[in-house]
Structure 1
Amino acid sequence: MDALEFTSSIVKTLAWPIIVLVIVFLLKKPITQLLLSISKFKYNNLEMDFGKELNKIEETLEKQSIEQTTLNNTISTINKEKENEVLSLAEIHPSAAISVVWTMIEKEIANTIKRLAISPDYPPYNSTLKNINLLKDNKYIDTITYELLNEFRHLRNKVTHAHSEGEQITYKEAVKYYELSIKLINQLRDIKR
């Protein structure tokens, strides 16, 4: 095999992969937008519909007779800087916004435990699950609120750990998770000793 035949075989072998790379490069933005708009994902036995789960949480909150207000009214107890951070992040990376919102919920759970003084340990050192259980065991939250907190935690875990399977949520879903979490945070802030 001489140099010309060798070069010819390399060109034949690499032609299709190069064409595919060029197409992906040219269509990078539309493909990215398509992937970011996916809100339902199925891989083998794993299936997730983030929007459906958020709707279930919203229905539960409504059944609990939590005051239904707009985001602008409920946000009054939340730092505006944090709100802007979450909404800006949701535009760029909705999954990351979910993690930031969950951190807000975790912080409020720990603050509630501190305010009620029901933990023998320093609340931020406890796991969030332990703090949630302390609130329920001491009858500061009912079963519905307990389940809601765990559902928020479950959704955050799904989003955070689903990156390897390509799970993506939309901006609207991230904003809805945020809005619902504000209602839950306000509910935690209203707990009195």
Structure 2
Amino acid sequence: MNKLEFISSIIKSLAWPGAVLTMVIFLKQPLVKILSNLNRVTYNNLEMDFNNKLEEIETTLEDKQLPESNNQLNNNDKEIITVAQISPAASITMSWSMVEKEIMNTVKRTAVSPDYPLYNSPLKNIQLLKDAGTIDLDTLNSLNELRELRNKAVHGHLSDENITYLEAIKYYDLSKKVTRILRNINR
């Protein structure tokens, strides 16, 4: 093999990777715009459709007898809705904190924990409510699904590009439903 053949083989080896790299560089902006409109996310063999999960939770909670809710929005509600327009992932965190607070209040109200509920994780408080029989399987599953969606939003598996405003509002509505269910539980 002479020098020209060697150079020719190197050029052949680098032609396709070079072409792909050039296309990625030139098409980066349009690809980012297209990918940011997707609702499905795949991350390390984890494939999740945020909206489908929300619909599953909604279906689970449909048959629940919920106490009448006050349709007036308080300041916290308005703040969550406003944040959802700017950062849907942040509004999901805020909605979950509302649920988390009610979980803790329910554990206090029902006295199912020997420890002060504030010292327990939300997961442990949910487990305490389940073990005491104060929440049913549908409520348990809804709480766990909402918690998992919140964790994915907070820990970067989902971002504002992957969660729409409407999905954040749906998450908020489901959080309010679960909160009403918990608030209705007495000792």
TM-score, structure 2 length as denominator? 0.76
- Residue type of the alignment partner of 2:52: K
Give yes or no for the alignment of 1:101 onto 2:95.
yes
Q: Is 2:90 the counterpart of 1:86?
A: no
Residues 48 and 138 from structure 1, CA distance in 2 versus in 1: closer, same or farther, beyond 3 angstroms?
same
Moved over 4 A (4+): 163-167
> Structure 1: which 5+ residue stretches go unaligned?
1-15
CA distance in 1, matches of 2:140, 2:51: 21
Q: How many angstroms apart in 2 are the aligned matches of 1:158 and 1:104?
A: 17
2:144 to 128, 143, 150: 150
> 1:55 is matched by which residue type in structure 2?
E
Contact 1:38 1:170 in 2 (8 A): no
The TM-score, its normalising length taken from structure 1, stands at 0.74
Deviations 1:64-86, CA, capped at 9 Å, x for gaps: 3334x9xxx73x28861011110
Structure 2 residue aligned with 1:115, among 89, 109, 112? 109
Q: Which runs of 5+ in 2 are unaligned?
A: 1-21
Aligned match for 1:137, one of 116, 127, 131: 131
Asked if structure 2 preserves the Cα contact closer than 8 Å seen for 1:90 and 1:97, the reply is yes
Q: In the aligned structure 2, how far is the partner of 1:105 from the partner of 1:153?
A: 9
Instruction: Give distance in 2, aligned partners of 1:92 and 1:41.
Output: 20
SS in 2 for 1:172: helix
Aligned to 2:8: none
User: Is the 2:39–2:49 Cα contact (8 Å) retained in structure 1?
Assistant: yes
Q: Is the 8 A contact 2:103 2:125 kept in 1?
A: yes
The question of whether the paired residues in 2 share the 8 Å contact of 1:90 and 1:174 is answered with: yes
Look up the equivalent residue of 1:185 and give its one-letter code. T
In the other structure, the counterpart of 1:13 is: none
Cα distance per residue 1:119-139 (max 9 Å; x no partner): 111101101111001111111
CA deviations on 1:114-159 (whole Å, 9 max, x unpaired) are 1112211110110111100111111111112111111111111111
Distance 2:71 2:121 in 1: 25
Counterpart-to-counterpart distance in 1, 2:110 and 2:159: 40
Greater helix share, structure number: 1
Partner of 1:12: none
> Which residue is 2:65 aligned to?
66
Shift of 1:42: 2.1
Aligned length: 163
* Deviation, structure 1 residue 95: 0.5
Change (3 A) 1:161 1:61: same
